A and B are shown apart, each in its own frame.
Chain A
Amino acid sequence: MMNDIERISGVLRFANYFRTWPQEDILELAGLCQWVRFDTDTMMISADDPASALYLIVNGHVELSFKDRDGKDGVIDLLGNGQLVGECALVPDGCYAVSVRTLEATTAISIDGAAFSDFLAAHFDRALTMMSAMTERLCQLLRQAEELKCRSAAQRLGIYFLADAVPIDGAHETPLTIEKSALARKLGMTSETISRALKKLSEIGVSQHANGHIIRIADAQTLSEWCGLSGNDAKEGSQNALKAAI
């Protein structure tokens, strides 16, 4: 029977952050981890609390919110399977920068921050891959900030649909796997703005089916151009890159 370390290493080796690591390092890292399960609507980590662990989301969706200097907070992102949160735990005496709350029952792998930091100090090449993964995250945040500055709500929603679109019968379809309220929070919009954006998108061939669970795009090229994506953006924009951007 598989023990916990084997099961955890089996998950870690498919995570973006660790997939280039050799098996012995994955096993060593797995020894610093444990399974954690959270009920829906549970605070996994709270901003400003001492950061003791990182969490790799294995199954579920979580909401990240940021608290400003005046104590006001607001949702800034929605993350799902394979995402890592709580990197501040790698820094001695670090505090979490964001709060993370589950939107549904969520399974995660927690990684002890201090022990992981020691591991990275002893494995320089692994530390470099972590730096690279964190830089990738910074570049995603940079793109998000750029999109928020430059594109309208309808354009950002259009890009979100394009990211998941698959060709079907001469058109493209996108399954909506999250509730519209959660989608609105992810995109930093109100539900009313989402409705207005959908109405606007309907003028360029975007329609809703199956009670809003399927979005059909009549002409992906036209939508792509309307959203301000260049030909290269559309070609190079993998699902993850497009989603990260908005």
Chain B
Amino acid sequence: MRSRQLSDTDIGIVKQVPFLSALGAARLSDLIGKCRVEWHAKGEHLFRAGDVADHFYILLSGHLRLVKISPLGEETVMHFLTQPGAFAEAVSLAGRAYPVECEVMENCEIVAIPREAYLTILRSAPDVAGDVLAGLIRWERFFLEEIYKLRHTKPIQRIASFLIDFEERNGENLDGEDETNFPEKRQIASRIGITPETFSRSLRKLEATGAIAAGPKLRILDRAALYELSR
């Protein structure tokens, strides 16, 4: 694993994380001094389910996926992390084990923040606890919305909604291409809780409306129509 010191740009991203910026400049600088930027290649794992969560992370660039593997070895994608920001802070701060695997989908750069170093600094700034709780509530909202969609929306709505959300979150393409680079179809199906067969049928229906092109590479053709289908 390669690593380097944080650049000003990296520090700018770290400062965007509310429960870190709330520490104040001096304490944050102290914490950052204990961290380095780590580079991880596609296919590597940052952590495995069951590992002690002694770090939480800031994603600077690249794509990750959080995966649950059943006792029978079946894989379910729980989330794609494609935007800079914090993750695994809830389990880490609570001193638990990671509940999922974290796998690198596209080469990434992350900052690994040691739990103990953060807690030591937090003890000297207990008023920051509210910001940490706010960060946890943000994840709670994410899961509530996820469960709502799984219970109350149809497969075609979920696919349309996923494509729109993914494109919105990944509008800036770093590889020079004009089109959003969506994850593989089987991974999208797993992420939104649809069997591959239902996913294929629903894609064909979406394609028939003219909202998307469902060839080897997914493309959004008519965003407004796709948005209507997501509702």
CB neighbours (8 Å) of B149 from chain A are: 68
Q: How far is the CB of A68 from chain B (nearest CB, A)?
A: 6
**What is the total number of residues of chain A having a CB less than 8 Å from a CB of chain B?**
47
CB neighbours (8 Å) of B48 from chain A are: none
A148 touching B147, Cβ below 8 Å: yes
Interface size class, chain B: 35 or more
Counting CB contacts under 8 A, is A171 at the interface?
Answer: no
Please classify the interface of chain B as helix (H, G, I), strand (E, B), loop, or mixed, using the class held by over half of its residues.
Answer: helix
Known pairs A70-B231, A135-B94; A228 contacts B72 (CB<8 A): yes
Cross-chain pair count, CB within 8 angstroms: 140
Cα distance A130–B192 when bound, in Å?
30
Please classify the interface of chain A as helix (H, G, I), strand (E, B), loop, or mixed, using the class held by over half of its residues.
Answer: helix
B130 touching A141, Cβ below 8 Å: no
| Contact code string B63-87 (vs A, CB < 8 Å = 1, else 0) | 0000010111010101000000000
Counting CB contacts under 8 A, is B218 at the interface?
Answer: no
Counting CB contacts under 8 A, is B116 at the interface?
Answer: no
CB neighbours (8 Å) of B99 from chain A are: 139, 142-143
| Contact code string A81-117 (vs B, CB < 8 Å = 1, else 0) | 0000001101110100110000000000000000001
B136 touching A148, Cβ below 8 Å: no
Counting CB contacts under 8 A, is A144 at the interface?
Answer: yes
CB-based nearest A residue for B143: A141
Hey, which bits of chain B sit against chain A, CB under 8 A? Answer: 68, 70-72, 74, 76, 78, 90-91, 93-96, 99-100, 119, 122-123, 126-127, 129-130, 132-134, 136-137, 139-141, 143-152, 190, 192-193, 231
Hey, which bits of chain A sit against chain B, CB under 8 A? Answer: 66, 68, 70, 72, 74-77, 87-88, 90-92, 94, 97-98, 117, 120-124, 127-128, 130-132, 134-139, 141-146, 148-150, 188, 228, 230, 232-233
